[in-house]
Amino acid sequence: MNIEIINIGDELLIGQVVNTNASWMGEQLSLAGFSVNQFTIIGDTREHILDALWKASERCEVVLISGGIGPTRDDITKTTLCDFFGTRLVFNEEAYKDVEAIFARRGYQVTELNRQQAYLPEDCISIPNKLGTARGMWFEKSCPSRILHPASCIQEARSRMQDPGSGMHQVIYVSMPGVPFEMKAMMNEYIIPELKTRFHPKSIYHKTILTQGIGESFLASMIEEWENNLPSFIKLAYLPQPGMVRLRLSGTGDEENAIRSQVEKEAEKLSVLIPDYIFGADDDQIEAIVGRLLKEKNATLGTAESCTGGYIAHLLTSVPGSSAYYKGSIIAYDNAVKEQMLSIMPETLQEFGAVSSEVVIEMAIGAQTNLNVDYVIAVSGIAGPDGGTEEKPVGTVWIAIATPDEVFSEKYLFGDSRERNIRRASLQALNLLRKNLLTDCG
Amino acid sequence: MNIEIINIGDELLIGQVVNTNASWMGEQLSLAGFSVNQFTIIGDTREHILDALWKASERCEVVLISGGIGPTRDDITKTTLCDFFGTRLVFNEEAYKDVEAIFARRGYQVTELNRQQAYLPEDCISIPNKLGTARGMWFEKSCPSRILHPASCIQEARSRMQDPGSGMHQVIYVSMPGVPFEMKAMMNEYIIPELKTRFHPKSIYHKTILTQGIGESFLASMIEEWENNLPSFIKLAYLPQPGMVRLRLSGTGDEENAIRSQVEKEAEKLSVLIPDYIFGADDDQIEAIVGRLLKEKNATLGTAESCTGGYIAHLLTSVPGSSAYYKGSIIAYDNAVKEQMLSIMPETLQEFGAVSSEVVIEMAIGAQTNLNVDYVIAVSGIAGPDGGTEEKPVGTVWIAIATPDEVFSEKYLFGDSRERNIRRASLQALNLLRKNLLTDCG
């Protein structure tokens, strides 16, 4: 069974909006064990919508459509759907009550534009939308199958004229709003479960292992043997991002529990192979993991940042509730600030330079005292594009961690990009602290 | 003349990669005055590639293809293109020299896989790739025009058999690598200029006005009359983002200079209508504008952040060269840090609470003294989701600006989302400083 996705909206074609709906839908469907064939993105015009609906029907059994419906754009898509399915719009009492309820919650009267949304194609199953006023619409239609070669056109047309049922197959079309959170709720709560019931895709189980501090090719060579020995029903995908590489294991088969336990077993082997680089799984975030470990120890954290310029503080404070353990930071971009606020000795700066083990260690100790915290992350480096020297090129970063028992520092050499250097240094620093918090626990 | 875009790659269909190539291409082409019809996204399979190439040819005159070529994936796309265009791969001396030169720069020997990249279809114009090893390929082909109605199929097929030239039109196909920076360079340096020479699209001139501190609907009502009076050849688009709304003016016509001056005239009117909300145009970034103004005055800046948790510092230090004016920050998440590092009086905190005009003003003054800077941005608020009260709900933010001459504060009420509150407060604070620096200059 193949699925195609059609996204409708002029704003997508002129690049005003990046089409995240399609990739989200593709991901969720493939996670559910379905195979997605094609995305087709078109504008809000009748001719293109009809063309896309016909063409998709030749190639697949399920067509999922998002966009083109909503209070101000209903006209084209909904009437075009009616024409395509040979039906008409009728007033739907239940749909109107939902619209009324949404307006009542917001304290408004229903507008005429929104009243129109309760008109739905007669021959569809309408899908409730808890989060908005545009309902989903589920259609089924018998469509001509694909004519594989232009040369068969005449012969095919003749046989279809003689027997209208020949060369036909059943296609499901589902139209959804383009507003991402409305579409996502409808997909998760209704459409994917319904497709699973109808088509029984093979069970699929995914586990994503999150690694930090090692590049894709080095990682690949470290786990080559393990990868080569993976059972054939488990696939591995490398998903690199600046500062981390995600490894996704996907197991497919008939028995859900068996697959799950096999995938978990392989993930377990991986965690023995590269324990130093794995910081979590699936949706874990390193800044939240560090927070959890600190909370468990009832410990507090502060930061002292130079080249990362507040990005570590920003990551840590993006986590709701972080004020329970995160006390603050001194961002010492300037050497005078390093001396004044972090109590760094002018001699240390002069002798070793701001980007040195000595300075980053004094930064950590200074922050520990001045912010009165248990743990400190301190970073000093050259983010670029300027400021590099032969001895300390752009991308050179020193990171120090101060704990209640010790202070230590490590040196890294990242790349040329300022943005990536800031991100890589920040993730590396958080991972260093995470590892220390874990050892400390054990 | 219509253009369609085909993106090839399994990773797009399963949502591993969000398709930013299509939206970038759509935007650049529409900025150049072309009209884009459809994006088609397909996997790396011969059957789908052929189907997409045929279908697109029925609807348009130019098909731009990205993805599916490169050292490890060349096989399918390139041989499929050869079949579609009825040609074969031949070794291209010039292309090989380019590959060699790229490898020499990186200090490697050319691998066999990369040597294969110098084999190109015989009947294409190959396009140099300065940034990678996969060349672009420009094909032209006479294709059957679209049969508009299935009923015409027999008749159309007959007449085409009698006269092979009837019902045909010329289609340009360009295949490019999927690596975004390689594709972008090829589009900008070769493909868009060449398409302009061939098709002479109408001149189009865009100007994007950047506003901050006002929501889309309020903005719309403030500029309604101006918008209604826009000449018909100038279109306006609202492009909202968290914390800012961009207004894009697009003028289309025959005479480039006339359009440019009309669009600039309308932008000028806008800057008189809403001077307080406009902070820049086109690719301006507020953190870079603030930096430029500070440099002009030879002045220094520091920050004192509570609820924004380092995000303002991060924005400021994302700008290369910011160390010339930005000295550092104290991120005082904890009240003890506010007292210790920002010299806030315990009585002020106790009497007014951390989220108050009094505290944020003391934060600004404390940072000005302790960081020894001319200007300070200080922020204290409740980012959420917890910590709100009836009197000070989530989203309440106080911002203070300290200058060499004065200190002032303003109160804002943003929304419920922690992430957006952090972003909106940060942009608002930077804009407050920007306005002060400008008044000060005048």
Higher pLDDT, A58 or B105: A58
Where are any strands of DSSP class E within B388-440?
A: 396-402, 407-413
- Which residue in this structure is represented by tokens 């604070």? B429
Residues of A in contact with B24 (CB under 8 A): 15
CB contact under 8 A, B330 and A334: no
Tell me the two tokens of residue A165.
């049922």
Coil, strand or helix: which one is B407? Answer: strand
Model confidence at A158: pLDDT above 80: no
Distance CA B281, CA B207 (A): 7
Q: How far is B94 from chain A (nearest CA, A)?
A: 30
Distance CA B63, CA A283 (A): 38
Q: CB-based contacts of A185: which residues, under 8 Å, 6+ apart? A: A129, A130, A131
Q: Based on C-alpha coordinates, what's the Rg of chain B?
A: 29
CB contact under 8 A, B418 and A318: yes
> Does the A286-441 domain belong in CATH 1.20.120.1200?
no
Q: Which of B242, B237, B187 lies closest to B28 in space, CA to CA?
A: B187
Pair B314, B250: CB distance under 8 Å: no
CB contact under 8 A, A19 and B19: yes
- Which residue in this structure is represented by tokens 């324990």? A275
CB contact under 8 A, A329 and B330: yes
One-letter amino acid at B150 equals: P
Which pLDDT score, from 0 to 100, does residue B83 have?
Answer: 94
Pair A103, A72: CB distance under 8 Å: no
Omega before B201 within 30 of 0, i.e. cis: no
Residues of B in contact with A330 (CB under 8 A): 328-331, 341
What are phi and psi for residue A57, nearest 5 degrees?
Answer: -60, -25
Instruction: Closest CB to A320: pick one of B19, B20, B418.
Output: B418
Instruction: Closest CB to B313: pick one of A36, A43, A309.
Output: A309
**Per-residue pLDDT for chain B (442 aa), expressed as one digit of tens each?**
899 999 998 889 988 888 899 999 999 999 899 999 999 999 988 999 999 999 999 899 999 999 988 766 556 899 999 999 999 999 999 999 998 888 888 777 787 778 888 999 998 999 999 888 889 999 999 987 765 555 566 666 677 667 766 778 899 999 999 889 899 999 999 999 999 999 999 888 889 999 998 888 788 889 999 999 999 999 888 887 778 888 989 999 989 899 999 999 999 999 999 998 999 999 899 999 999 999 999 999 999 999 999 999 999 999 999 999 999 999 999 999 999 999 999 999 999 999 999 999 999 999 999 999 999 999 999 999 999 999 999 999 999 999 999 999 999 999 888 999 999 999 999 999 999 999 865 4
| CATH T-level assignment (fold) for domain B2-199 | Molybdenum Cofactor Biosythetic Enzyme; Chain A (3.40.980)
Which pLDDT score, from 0 to 100, does residue B442 have?
Answer: 44
Residues of B in contact with A12 (CB under 8 A): 23, 26, 39
Most confidently modeled range among A362-376, A428-442, B198-212: A362-376
CB contact under 8 A, B333 and A317: yes
Per-position DSSP letters for A388-411, written without gaps between them: --SSS-TTEEEEEEE-SS-EEEEE
In this prediction, what percent of chain A has a pLDDT beyond 90? 70
Distance CA B298, CA B404 (A): 13
Which pLDDT score, from 0 to 100, does residue B162 have?
Answer: 74
CB contact under 8 A, B329 and A326: no
Which pLDDT score, from 0 to 100, does residue A442 have?
Answer: 44
Distance CA B38, CA B35 (A): 10
Binned at pLDDT 50, 70 and 90, residue A55 comes out as very high
Which pLDDT score, from 0 to 100, does residue B152 have?
Answer: 60
Alpha helices in A318-379 (DSSP H): 335-342, 346-352, 357-371
Pair B440, B403: CB distance under 8 Å: yes
Beta bridge partners of A175: A65, A137
Model confidence at A68: pLDDT above 50: yes
Which pLDDT score, from 0 to 100, does residue B48 have?
Answer: 93
Which pLDDT score, from 0 to 100, does residue B15 have?
Answer: 87
Pair B269, B233: CB distance under 8 Å: no
Residues of A in contact with B322 (CB under 8 A): 309, 333
∠ CA(B337), CA(B338), CA(B343), 5° rounding? Answer: 110
**Burial track A367-387 (b if 16+ CB lie within 10 A, e otherwise):** bbebbebbbbbbbbbbbbeeb
Binned at pLDDT 50, 70 and 90, residue A439 comes out as confident
Binned at pLDDT 50, 70 and 90, residue A234 comes out as very high
CA closest to B372 among chain A residues: A337
CB contact under 8 A, A372 and B19: no
CA distances from B426 to A14, B311, B400 (A): 30, 7, 12
Q: Does an H or E element contain A15, and which?
A: none
Pair A62, A169: CB distance under 8 Å: no
> Does the B203-281 domain belong in CATH 3.40.50.620?
no
Instruction: Closest CB to B370: pick one of A27, A313, A340.
Output: A340
**Burial track B344-365 (b if 16+ CB lie within 10 A, e otherwise):** beeebbeeeebbbbbbbbbbbb
CA closest to B320 among chain A residues: A385
Of the residues A308, A317, A335, A423, the best mutation for testing chain B's interface (the one with the most B CB atoms within 10 Å of its CB) is A317
CA distances from B137 to A428, B34, B200, B325 (A): 41, 21, 22, 48
Helices (H) and strands (E) counted in chain A, each on its own, are: 18, 17
CA closest to B151 among chain A residues: A157
Residues of A in contact with B319 (CB under 8 A): none
Q: How far is B99 from chain A (nearest CA, A)?
A: 22
Q: Based on C-alpha coordinates, what's the Rg of chain A?
A: 29
CA dihedral A372→A374→A377→A378, nearest 10 degrees, is 40
Residues of A in contact with B236 (CB under 8 A): none
Residues of A in contact with B328 (CB under 8 A): 330-334, 337, 341
CA closest to B20 among chain A residues: A18
What are the sequence ranges of the domains in chain A?
Answer: 2-199, 203-281, 286-441
Instruction: Closest CB to A16: pick one of B239, B320, B322.
Output: B239
What integer best gives the mean pLDDT of chain A?
A: 91
Residues of B in contact with A331 (CB under 8 A): 303, 310, 313, 317, 328-331
Omega before A385 within 30 of 0, i.e. cis: yes
